[in-house]
Amino acid sequence: MSLFKIFDVAGSGMAAQSLRLNTVASNLANADSVSGTPEGAYRAKEPLFAAVQKAIGSAKSADADSAVGVQVKGVTESQADVQAHYEPGNPMADATGYVYGSNVNPIDELVNMITASRSYQNNVEAMNTTKQLMLKTLDLGK
Amino acid sequence: MSSINDNLFGLHTQALDMWQKRSEVLASNLANADTPGYLARDVDFKKALASASGTGSNLPMTITQQGQIDPQAQAAKKLAYRTPTQPSMDGNTVDTQVEQANFAANGVHYQASLSFITAQIHMLRTAITGGQG
């Protein structure tokens, strides 16, 4: 039944959004991390999404057109500048007395979190509706 | 679909198939709401159903020899691209609200086709049992 493909598609969407939520959590948790070198400072992680054609259980290539899932291509790191703080008393401070904080922008992360959770909900709703339609189809003729 | 099914349930078996395809496309749009560069797609349902069933103004093409491309199967899979209402920076044309509305409407249509088939089955059962069953 072709409705089954929706579970794969919505499932891939949920997986992608939950990974996005994961990176947000890790970014927020590390917002105040410091390092002794600019290279060692925590940089905000951002997932990269791509559409992927799903040809599940169909030999015809034209059929693959309709179901398009989401693929996480990888996680990139933000290239924004890290902030240097003058904290000579910090045990992590370098020779000049600076420590290097993360380049996480908490507002960006919160916005990302809300978007990810809404998108996740959309996929769950699509799955729920599909499940109900499938159950109704099973009751056909009763 | 077999011709027996077609004779019993008319257009609704084909319609059901189309609603399924369309819900698949809409679910893909919803899943890719945050994918950069993804273009939202949809089925031109009226056109697809007309060419699949031959109820349009044109006569449907048929297969005369084995190995030819099935025009009805092709028509069912023809997808169009949605015109975006608001352009976005990353080239994504999914409008989640529009997709959700379409998905909901699509589900109702699907259920309507199911009810029509169920009603037909009930009618046949009544005819077979003479209203006793």
Residue B53 domain flag: yes
CB contact under 8 A, A13 and B30: yes
Flag whether B19 is in a domain. Answer: yes
B64-96 tens-digit pLDDT:
777 777 766 665 557 888 888 887 888 899 999
- Report CB contact under 8 Å: A9, B35: no
The predicted pLDDT at position B67 comes to: 77
Q: What is the pLDDT of residue B111?
A: 94
Q: Do A66 and B21 touch, CB atoms closer than 8 A?
A: yes
- Alpha-carbon distance B34 to nearest alpha carbon in chain A (angstroms): 7
pLDDT > 90 in chain A, percent: 54
Instruction: List CB contacts (< 8 A) between B73 and chain A.
Output: 60, 62
What is the rounded distance in angstroms from the CA atom of residue B53 to the CA atom of residue B62? 11
Residue of chain A whose Cα is closest to the Cα of B100: A122
Give the start-end residues of each E strand in B13-120: 41-43, 79-81
ipTM above 0.95, yes or no: no
Strand partners, A84: A100
Q: How many domains does chain B have?
A: 1
- pLDDT by residue (tens digit) across A122-137? 999 999 999 999 999 9
The partner residues of A68 in beta bridges, in order of sequence, read: A53
- The 10 Å Cβ neighbour count of residue A120 is 19
Are the Cβ atoms of B33 and A5 closer than 8 angstroms?
no
Whether B54 is covered by a domain: the verdict is yes
The total of other beta-carbon atoms located within 10 Å of residue B132's CB is 6
| Domains of chain A, residue spans | 3-140
CB pairs under 8 A between A and B: 106
Domain that holds residue B111: 2-32+40-61+70-83+95-130
- Residue A5 CA to residue A131 CA, distance in Å, equals 12
